[in-house]
Amino acid sequence: RDRYHPLLRGRKGLAARGAEATNEYWAKRAREAIEARLGDGGSPAAGKAMNVVMFLGDGMSVPTLTAAR
């Protein structure tokens, strides 16, 4: 094993915490994360295009163009 994949000693590290075993816990965590992300305006470039993808294909058929989209 290496430092990224150490051997686990015992089963203590494998047990899930009680709260993490419920659906409500994960739904609450997801809701809080979404609200936090929306509350701070998202990313610094929220609402601005970050990347442009341009397809240039001479002689491409309609099905090929549709697949490229």
Show Cβ contacts of residue 26 under 8 Å, excluding neighbours closer than 6 positions. Answer: 20
The answer as to whether 51 is a domain residue is yes
Distance CA 23, CA 29 (A): 10
Whether residue 36 has pLDDT greater than 80: yes
Number of domains in the chain: 1
CA atoms within 13 A on the CB side of 43: 6
Boundaries of domain holding 19:
12-68
Q: pTM score > 0.75 for this model? A: no
Q: What is the pLDDT of residue 42?
A: 57
Q: Is residue 7 part of a domain?
A: no
Query: Does a structural domain hold residue 59?
Result: yes
pLDDT band at residue 21, thresholds of 50, 70 and 90? confident
Give the span between the Cα atoms of 67 and 51, in whole angstroms: 20
Q: Decide if pLDDT at 11 tops 80.
A: no
